[in-house]
A = this chain, B = another copy of it.
Amino acid sequence: MQDARDPRTESPPNRSKPRSRRLPREVRERQILDAAVRVFAHHGYHEAAMDEISEVAEISKPMIYAYLGSKEELFVACIRREANRLIESISGAVEADLPPDEQLWRGLRAFFEYAQQNRASWTVLHRQASTQGPHFAAELSAWRRRALDLVTGLLARAEGSGTEEERSTRHERMRPFAAALVGAGESMVDWWIDHPEHTADALSMRLMNLVWMGFGDMVQGRRWKPD
């Protein structure tokens, strides 16, 4: 069973390069993490062999243990790095002085774009991470919580201002909706993988319509549009 997207043979087809020697730790750690993300994304945590990661990273296995620790710690390091990248992408796209629907729209679009341009990263965060052995549970719920807080904040602002206390209870009330929205996005990305003819823009628009207008409006032909 040949696999076209085997991470070992995926990107640079370098046959001539005589395996760069003696690079500083910083560089190696990055190489290892890059390789690990790709391999974890491709096989999942348990099927991913440290031997394969070391092969992809072009470094021997003991170096991984020396720099990043056990397989578990390596996986956690991947989660942490990729979660940071994703969350920064989204929160960077949301400008605080825009109207709430516009903010939401930008956030959604940034999310879909990230998922498109960083497939492996997204796969690790979404699919593999949720395999929750009791181990990475902490790391996992941490990143999930950050994502949820980000979205909850977006939604809470949509309902306008008020006293400190009102804002805080509203924030709480928004949590289940935020969970729903996050899940809707995740699930749409999954669907997207099988229907790559759609653009990030189109999908964000659909999701925006769903959560902002709702089916009740949509069946009557009312649509949400940006700007």
Contacts and interface: CB of A to CB of B under 8 A. Distances in A.
Interface of A: 1, 43-44, 46-47, 100-101, 104, 127-128, 130-134, 148, 155, 158-160, 175-177, 179-188, 190-192, 195, 198, 203, 206-207, 209-217, 219, 224
B176 A183 contact: no
A76 to B, nearest CB: 17
B214 A213 contact: yes
| This chain: copies in complex | 2
Given A47-B133, A188-B180, A212 B211 contact: no
A193 to B, nearest CB: 11
Given A44-B132, A127-B132, A155 B191 contact: no
A125 B190 CA distance: 16
Contacts of A175: 191, 195
A192 B183 CA distance: 13
A198 B176 CA distance: 10
Nearest to A190: B179
A190 B175 CA distance: 12
B160 A206 contact: no
A1 B224 CA distance: 52
A215 B156 CA distance: 11
Contacts of A179: 187-188, 190-191
Contacts of A101: 215-216
B215 A155 contact: yes
